[in-house]
Amino acid sequence: MPVSEDLSQRCARSLKTISAVASLYPTALSSYAVATSQVYLSSLQSSSEQSKLENAWLSVMSLAPERRDLAVSLLRLASFYSNSTAVPDRTAFLALSALRVIKEDRAKPDPEIISKSLFTLGSALHSISPTVAQLPELDVAIRAFTFCAQLSEHDDVTGQARSYAGLAIALLRRFEQIGRQEDLDKVFIFLSYVLKKDGIEDSLRASLHNSLGIAYRHQFSLRYNQRPAERELLIQDMNEALYHLHKATSLSPSTSQYLGGLAITEVLCAEIYPDPSNALQYLQAAVQHSYRAMYGVGRGDPNPSRLEDCGNVLQRVFRKTRDPQHCDLMLQAMKGAVDYTPEKHDADMARRLYNLGTGYHCRFLSNPHPESHDDRKAIHCLKKAVELPASEPSIQFAAACLWSQLAPLDDLDAYRAVVNLAPKMAWLGADIRSIYRDLPDIARVIRRGVTAAINSGKLQTAVEWFEAGRCVVWRQALGLRTSVAAQLPQDCPREARELAEEIDKVSCELGRVALGSLQAMETATPEQRSAHRRKLATEYDELLQHASTVPCLHALLRPASFGDILKATTAHAHPIVCLNLDGPRCDALVLYPNHPSVLHVPLSAMSSERADGLRASLETQLEQERLLDGHGPRMRGLVHDQQAPGTMRTSKQIEEILEELWNTVVKPILGSMGLLPPRFFEPLDNLRRISWCPSGSLTTLPLHAAGIYASPGPKIFDFIVPSYKPSLTGMGVGSAVNHASRTRHSLLAVSQEADGLTHTTHEVSGIQRRLDKASCSVTWLHDRKATLSRVLEAMQASTCVHFACHGEQDRNDPLRSSFILANHERLTLGRLMKDSMATDPSHSKASKELAFLSACETAAGDQGLADEQVHLAAGMLAVGFRRVVGTMWRIRDEDAKEIAGEFYRGLVGSDRHLQPSRAAQALHDAVGRLRGDGTPILHWASLIHIET
């Protein structure tokens, strides 16, 4: 029977006492240690091991042991528990105790004891780190293995090889969780180095070859997913993987532990080789090795990991061969993996239940016989995988996604699970590139859930889920800037307030580390910074989990409810239109201020395929006019007036795009809202504000310019003043604060006149003259004066900013998107967020009201991350600005100057004060004047107004 939790805790305290008083009370310690040992040993199974361990402790303690003897004794006990049914954290504690004991020895520390302690510690920590939530233990294990290998560098080949074997496995485990290429590179370096050494026993060498083979297989998967991949490199990776995995099996012929990994690799080979005969050969080999692996399990070795590998291999084989025997064997292996998984191993159980669910689903697709109930069995397994509390979020999310596909149309539980898991998929401790890689799939599933809620008549739920799928990463980052303690009611219990303050403390530090702004970490290596970030993220998750059980904190930390969304809508005092684009259909959900009802407008003529087609046509026209370049900086001013004739040549295609947007999206919505007059060609006198919140490819299309242009006809700007919202509940801390009572504003203008920018001086000087008359102070940093330090300092004291310069957007890492300043210095979003996190918004020198980004493509995001709003304009909202004017594609230097002048004239109210709240109307009027002068569509339709 395993050691009970209460017993483990008592023994842990006993051992801690032993290590603390060993040198002070050796006589009393002897009997105490024996008693402790007997308590431990009485609960263990093996009588022979009990006898050995008891004798060891008796002899050591009766002789008033030295530090080395005590450390050895602790290690012996740790070694015993590492092979027993006890939980591995006890082993880790004992190994750590041995390290502390030997460290306290006044004599020279014993390298052998240290090495063994480090190896035992690393192995134990590696064993208890199956999920992302426990990555800090894995980080410590990797450090322990690394130190252990360094200690045995010159004189202990076996010890060094064992350390590198453990290090490789731990690095591979971490790579599988967070996808860091650096971990994979280290495996190649370390194992290639140690495998060149002689004197390593076959079983250990087999483990090294196996890990190296798995590393090559992971590298193959990375390259394969980053298409277009070079075929020669893919084949090279597979050949290396096969070589090392075959080597591992040949060095350990009496065991089947490496056959599953070899079979998986052979199936992958069958998928990349075009020659059917070669593919069949690999499939047959994979089945043969799976049989052998399962046969080994059946010989009294019920190893669920090997059964799991076999099941995964046979599922891939079955999808190729459709052989019922392969299917039966697949399900047999998968069931066995589930049955043999020990209790409380939630992470393993969830993964194996997910595999079994996919197995049933695979058989159902192949032979959908009603009497087999394979679809119900699949749902049962997937639901259990989602509900296990300590499961890995990626497995839970994958299970919830497949569950949602199989469940009845009116069953919303699976989609609810998807929505709840979405924030965990954007874990703050993970690499930003891996997060963005997964987000498109998350967004698609959530949009499908919104459709399901609409079909079920749950319109408020549909709105909540629509919001949950938007700006996931931004919302996670912004959550670190929001004080939980400051939002607590006065009568909140002291314990809850202390917990809230601890959450604020950790979130603040995590935010600074995530942005690379913690001074204490400036000299740390990238590996140390990543480990520290993961440790803080784990601590933050644990605090939030605790807070979710506290009533007055739970309400603050839960996802946005419909009431929260309605409150945010009411603050803007105008309707918001959500556009949910889900595969073959599109729906609009209209929210009105102070109105709990949601207006649903089906848009039957719009679909994802049609929106993708319109986006592709628009991009073609923009590229022909040199108004769009997805490969370099967003260079304003490189489009010259002489190109106007070309624009006239392509205006017909642009008019067709805008007409289709009018007929399929805008017209049905405005008609349902009662905003269209009986005769379309009669514009309204009083235009109503509407904010669009699109999704999918609709985020890249100019809805604000929709209309009929080929002949006199209706256009969107004849009936409404359009704006855009990245998120329904706001993206910045500034959005929660009302600064309407402040009438005194100040503007920072930053301009550069180089690399094609010839009108920025006239642009800003005109703005300055206009605002001088409006009692608004203007700070103008031009050319060499616009250094990074000066701009940052001036921004702290300014309510509005105007950038007339080049911009550069990094779609791989949005926080590196930047404005290019003097001497090619870059003001990145990461730096802006870092500075904003360092300043309490309530103590800021000035509220952040308006940012005018007179640069190019500042509101053009990545199509693959449409719902995330990955662009400079959204980033300015994230750092606290309430309103932003940005551009969807390049803007001519001359047009930017004209629009800016008219825009700021419209911002000045009748009281001769600057009114940023008029930004949407001011931009509408400024663009209208440019449009009235006959400026081609593409030259004025780039500018948009975005609000938080």
Task: Report pLDDT digits (tens) over 104-161.
Answer: 555 555 666 666 666 666 666 555 555 544 666 677 778 777 877 777 766 678 878 8
Q: Is the Cα torsion angle 346, 350, 352, 357 positive or negative in sign?
A: positive
Question: Residue 818, Cα to own-chain centre: how many angstroms?
Answer: 21
Report yes or no: 636 and 759 within 8 Å, Cβ to Cβ: no
Dump pLDDT digits (tens) for 268-290.
887 777 666 777 788 888 888 88
Q: What pLDDT score does 676 carry?
A: 86
How high is the pLDDT of residue 517? Answer: 46
Query: Which is more confidently placed, 336 or 410?
Result: 336
Give residue 754's region: left, alpha or beta (phi > 0; psi -120 to 50): beta
Rg over CA atoms, the chain: 32
Do 164 and 204 touch, CB atoms closer than 8 A? Answer: no
Q: Quick one: average pLDDT of 435-456?
A: 87
The pLDDT tens digits of the residues spanning 822-871 come to 988 999 877 887 776 655 555 455 688 999 998 766 766 666 666 666 67
**pLDDT for res 587:** 98
Any idea what the Cα angle at residue 518 is, between residues 515 and 524, rounded to 5°?
Answer: 100
pLDDT at 837: 60
pLDDT at residue 24, as a whole number: 43
Residue closest to 636 by CA, chosen among 927, 872, 798: 872
Reply yes or no on whether the pLDDT at 86 is more than 50. Answer: no
On the question of pLDDT at 690 being above 90, the answer is yes
Task: Tell me the mean pLDDT in the region 591-596.
Answer: 89
Question: What is the rounded average pLDDT of the residues 292-309?
Answer: 70
Asked if 732 and 881 count as a contact pair (C-beta separation under 8 A), the reply is yes
Residue 198 pLDDT > 50: yes
| pLDDT higher than threshold 70 for residue 599 | yes
Q: Is 730 a residue whose pLDDT tops 60?
A: yes
Report the pLDDT value the prediction gives residue 838, as an integer from 0 to 100. 57
In this model, does residue 767 exceed pLDDT 80? Answer: yes
Place of tokens 């603040």: 508
Asked if the model's pLDDT at residue 695 lies above 70, the reply is yes
**pLDDT-based confidence at 555, cuts 50/70/90?**
low
Query: What is the separation of C-alpha 33 from the centre of its chain, rounded to a whole number of angstroms?
Result: 49
Q: Is residue 741 scored above 60 in pLDDT? A: no
Dihedral of alpha carbons 215, 217, 218, 223, sign: positive
Confidence of residue 504 (pLDDT cuts 50, 70, 90): confident
The confidence score (pLDDT) of residue 770 equals 85
> Is the pLDDT reported for residue 734 higher than 50?
no
At residue 661, what are phi and psi to the nearest 5 degrees?
-60, -35
pLDDT of 53 strictly over 70: no
Nearest to 427 by CA among 815, 133, 830: 133
pLDDT over 60 at 316, yes or no:
yes
pLDDT digits (tens, 9 = 90+) for 561-572: 888 888 888 777
Give Cα 827 distance to the centre of its chain.
24
Structure-model confidence comparison of residues 291 and 581, the more confident one: 581
The answer to whether residues 402 and 358 touch, using CB atoms and an 8 Å cutoff, is yes
CB 497 within 8 A of CB 481: no
pLDDT above 70 covers a percentage of the chain that reads 70
Structure-token pair, residue 749:
């203008």
* Arithmetic mean of pLDDT, 536-541: 76
**Model confidence band, residue 614 (pLDDT cutoffs 50, 70, 90):** very high
CA–CA separation, 260 and 278 (whole Å)? 20
pLDDT value for 743: 56
pLDDT band at 169 (very low <50, low <70, confident <90, very high): confident
Distance CA 806, CA 795 (A): 18
Compare 732 and 888 and report the one with higher pLDDT: 888
Q: What is the largest CA-CA distance in the chain?
A: 104
Residue 652 CB: number of other CB atoms within 10 A? 11
Helix (H/G/I), strand (E/B), else coil: 636 = coil
- Predicted confidence at residue 434, as pLDDT, reads 64
3-state secondary structure 583-607: CCEEEEEEECCCCCCEEEEECCCCC
Judge whether residue 806 has pLDDT over 90: no
Chain-centroid distance, C-alpha 434: 6
Per-residue pLDDT at 449 exceeds 60:
yes
Count of residues in the chain: 948
The answer on pLDDT for 948 being more than 90 is: no
Confidence of residue 301 (pLDDT cuts 50, 70, 90): low
How many CA atoms, within 13 angstroms, populate the side-chain half-sphere of residue 522? 4
Q: Supply the mean pLDDT for the chain.
A: 78
Q: Which DSSP state fits 164? A: H
CA dist 59 and 635 (Å) reads 79
Does the pLDDT at position 329 exceed 80?
yes
Q: Which of 344-358, 639-653, 737-751, 923-937 has the lowest mean pLDDT?
A: 639-653
| 170-179, 501-510, 680-689, 718-727, range with greatest mean pLDDT | 718-727
| Residue type at position 932 | G
pLDDT at 47 over 60: no
